[in-house]
Amino acid sequence: MSTPHTFSSRDFTRDVGAAKRAASEGPVFITDRGRPAFALLRIEEYYRLAGKREMSLLELMDSLPGTEGIEFEAPRADIQLKAAEFD
């Protein structure tokens, strides 16, 4: 892992994209009043550190506390395509 980057909360808010780009190179520490408050890292790195495998969005949502017993079935989309008419 490369050298961590540091962003103040204000700099992070101003340019989230820069923090995301920096996180692709290594962890990003976000500071509040000069002290580390949060860490931003690639999801693959989080899974590695947590000893977890990558999950689908549905699996992730299902694993959240308080979601036990919630059933959801998305309606099937009925999309019909037709050729464009150029007059």
Token pair recorded at residue 80? 């019909």
Element (H, E) at 16: helix 16-23
CA distance 25 to 41: 9
Q: Which of 15, 22, 18 is nearest to 45 (CA)?
A: 22
First to last CA, the chain: 59
Q: For the segment 3-19, what is each residue's pLDDT rounded down to a tens digit?
A: 789 999 999 999 999 99
What domains appear along the chain, each with residue ranges and CATH number? 5-62 (3.40.1620.10)
Q: Which pTM value belongs to this model?
A: 0.57
Q: For the segment 45-86, what is each residue's pLDDT rounded down to a tens digit?
A: 888 888 877 777 777 777 777 777 777 777 888 888 888 888
